[in-house]
């Protein structure tokens, strides 16, 4: 007996609706809105497998979606104060943050839920703005 399998054709199939997969799909559609892009995600919903608590540097998002603030991205809480501590058994030693390398300084960054950003990113960027034809398959 010959097995009949349904098949669908896409120009690009991206595995994983994490930050990388979502950003790639958005960029591809920005470059060519006619591309047929499909994201495969094994989680029960987008964001289900994404870490939550996150200190977020916005540089990459600034390039991808410059008006993310106006578009209501769930990125609201700016880092106001930071401490770098060496923890001992009974006490801790505070290290001056101005002595830290720049990659460890977070004063311009945001404290966010990455899962929420991934989930909302799909709703506000891909669905609300109707960048159509990105097919999201939960596998």
Ligand X SMILES: Cc1cc2nc3c(=O)[nH]c(=O)nc-3n(C[C@H](O)[C@H](O)[C@H](O)COP(=O)(O)OP(=O)(O)OC[C@H]3O[C@@H](n4cnc5c(N)ncnc54)[C@H](O)[C@@H]3O)c2cc1C
Residues that bind ligand X (CB under 6 A): 15-21, 40-43, 49-51, 54-56, 114, 139
Q: Which is nearer to ligand X, 91 or 102 (CB)?
A: 102
Q: Which of 78, 59, 81 is nearest to 68 (CA)?
A: 59
Q: How far is the CB of 91 from ligand X (least distance, A)?
A: 26
Nearer to ligand X, 35 or 43 (CB): 43
Distances from the Cα of 55 to the Cαs of 3, 103, 107, 125, in angstroms?
Answer: 49, 12, 10, 21
Q: Closest approach of Cβ 112 to ligand X, in Å? A: 9
- The strand pairing partners of 39, in sequence order, are 14, 136
- Least distance CB 27 / ligand X (angstroms): 13
For ligand X, the closer CB: 81 or 89: 81
Using CA atoms, how far apart are residues 125 and 127, in angstroms rounded to an integer?
6
């Amino acid at each position: 007996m010959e097995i009949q399998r349904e098949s669908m054709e896409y120009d690009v199939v991206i595995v994983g609706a994490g930050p990388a997969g979502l950003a790639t799909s958005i960029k591809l559609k920005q470059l060519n809105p006619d591309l047929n892009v499909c994201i495969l995600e094994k989680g029960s919903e987008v964001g289900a497998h994404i870490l939550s608590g996150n200190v977020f540097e916005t540089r990459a998002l600034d390039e991808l979606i410059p008006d993310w603030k106006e578009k209501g991205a769930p990125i609201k809480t700016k880092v106001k104060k930071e401490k770098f501590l060496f923890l001992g058994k009974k006490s801790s030693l505070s290290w001056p943050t101005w002595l830290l390398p720049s990659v460890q300084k977070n004063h311009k960054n945001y404290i966010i839920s990455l899962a929420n950003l991934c989930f909302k990113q799909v709703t506000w960027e891909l669905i609300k703005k109707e960048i159509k034809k990105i097919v999201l398959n939960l596998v």
